[in-house]
Copies of this chain bind each other. A is one copy, B any other.
Amino acid sequence: MKYKKITAQLLKQLEEITGKDNISVSETDLNNFSIDESPEMQPHAPEVVVRPLTTSIVSDILRFADRNLIPVTPRGGGTGLSGGCVPLFGGIILSLERMNHIIKISADNFSAIVEPGVTLDQLAGNLAPHNLHYPIHIGDMSATIGGTIATNAGGMNAVKYGVTRQHILGLQAVLPSGKIIEAGGEYIKCSTGYDLTQILIGSEGTLAVVTRIILKVMPRPGNREILFVPFSDLQSAIRTVPELLRLKTIPMGLEFLDGEVVRLIEKYVDIKVPHDEQDAFLMIIMEGDSTEDIVQYFGQIESICRSNGAIEFFVPGDETGKRKLIEFREKAYQAIRRAGPFALIDVVVPRNEIANFMASVKKISQELDMPAPSMGHAGDGNIHIHPICFDPDIAAWRKKLPVLMKRIYEAGAAVGGAISGEHGIGIDKKKYMSIGISQETISLMKAIKACVDPNNILNPGKIFDF
């Protein structure tokens, strides 16, 4: 595809569409919008940034771009971890940041309607007075709802509550042609034609720009308690997972951290955890109506953990202790960022294959002599592995990195996994996309893309080359 550059004349036309307060070619904007939060990502500057206020303006922008063969990259909070909102071919950054209104909260229908630029934090703040809750809890709560839809964001609570896909009832979206569609509605079941909502979720902004979202919300949960359980080896820690998932009240969060990642976090965050010399740790988050509700499970959980070799069973005595543990987990990514050049692997595997997969990862990491501290959502099989360059020879590390990545993705596929559990493919994993997926399957995805976006103007160069 040969895209057109945005000439002064085209810029003028675009300004007529957006209004002059909602378009920018400032150096600062072009720089800020040339990256996301991905590690090891080359910046790519857009030619212009637009900040539409309404669906109808989004429609006009897309129609204009399609007619003029200008690539459009939709962008939410810019907190993505795979380059999904990086404008690989320049063109227009379509920032949804000003479409950030909460349109409706229906306490008696357990639903909310929001614009895509609403952040997870903002949504939580607005639901709380209604005693309602949206259970997607990801590492960075400044992410926008639109962005979480693009990547089908998961996070810590997915083991109990599922991922974004399970909480979206409907969408309004603009197709590359400028046509506006409305999928789903304020209802929780539907068998009326193809589920367009679900094909858009996780499509990383390559099929349509989502302009309005109907969310399913739930009554605010009661208390939560956090358990921290050190093990002498990862295999023992992982073995407890299926047993914990057989509890009548399953954990809301069930995270593991390896010893390397724990000691790395301690180095950069001023929190110490007990038995930090051990090799593996489970963090178990239980949620219930009341503390008593939760505490009744502690005996059972402790006995499951100890029978699998837990060294200790640590329950923080107060709210401060609980918060510190959560903060410890949440700051992991920040700590890793500060440790050196790094990469991010986000494989998901069947939950009964985590141990096998992690054994392969350890072996690959040792063979290539590339440390890769790991942690992950043990409860849902989604593992985050962080190859970090502790060596002064960054160039050598960068050269070996694709070999490590490929081998780890292949190890994930070998146990029936997929290369991304929650971050998306973006630019970052594009070259690994065919690991574990057949060509026929990818061809069908591409056929759908071609049918919706024949000129390939919407977020080109993401997920697959086309």
Contacts and interface: CB of A to CB of B under 8 A. Distances in A.
A419 B106 contact: no
A349 interface: yes
Contact of A445 (B193, B380, B424, B425): B193
A248 interface: yes
**Overall SS of chain A's interface:** loop
Nearest to A177: B440
Given A219-B246, A246-B219, A189 B158 contact: yes
B248 A222 contact: yes
A193 B442 contact: yes
Contacts of A433: 192-193
Given A189-B422, A350-B187, A441 B181 contact: yes
Contacts of A253: none
A452 B186 CA distance: 29
A463 interface: yes
A127 to B, nearest CB: 14
Contact of A108 (B348, B351, B451): B351
Nearest to A422: B191
A199 B202 contact: no
Contact of A106 (B109, B110, B350, B420): B350
Contact of A437 (B189, B192, B198, B442): B192
A450 interface: yes
A201 interface: yes
A195 B202 contact: yes
A7 to B, nearest CB: 31
A464 B192 CA distance: 10
Contact of A199 (B179, B186, B194): B194
Contact of A352 (B106, B201, B463): B106
Contacts of A1: none
Interface string A226-253: 0000000000000000100110100000
Interface stretch (A159-167, A304-312, A360-368): A159-167
A19 interface: no
A431 to B, nearest CB: 13
A425 B187 contact: no
Contact of A447 (B352, B417, B444, B451): B451
Contact of A198 (B107, B195, B351, B463): B195
Nearest to A249: B289
A443 B175 CA distance: 12
Q: Kindly report how many copies of this chain are found in the complex they form together.
A: 2
Interface in A408-463: 416-425, 433, 436-438, 440-445, 447-452, 463
Contacts of A403: none
A425 B193 contact: yes
A39 interface: no
A450 to B, nearest CB: 7
Given A182-B438, A350-B185, A437-B182, A444 B191 contact: no
A264 interface: no
A46 to B, nearest CB: 24
A151 interface: yes
A147 to B, nearest CB: 12
A351 B169 CA distance: 13
Nearest to A219: B246
A196 interface: yes
Most buried by B among A186, A242, A425: A186
A74 to B, nearest CB: 16
A438 B183 CA distance: 9
Given A158-B189, A191-B422, 6 more contacts: A110-B351, A152-B190, A182-B441, A194-B203, A198-B201, A450-B451
Interface of A: 106-111, 151-154, 158, 162-163, 165-166, 175, 179-183, 185-196, 198-199, 201-203, 207, 219, 222, 242, 245-246, 248, 289, 346, 348-353, 380-382, 416-425, 433, 436-438, 440-445, 447-452, 463-464
Q: Which 10 A-B pairs have the closest CB atoms?
A: A198-B198, A108-B242, A451-B451, A186-B350, A109-B352, A108-B352, A192-B418, A181-B441, A248-B289, A191-B424
18 contacts: A107-B242, A109-B353, A111-B350, A152-B191, A163-B189, A179-B440, A181-B440, A181-B444, A185-B350, A188-B380, A192-B419, A192-B420, A193-B441, A194-B448, A194-B463, A196-B441, A248-B289, A444-B452
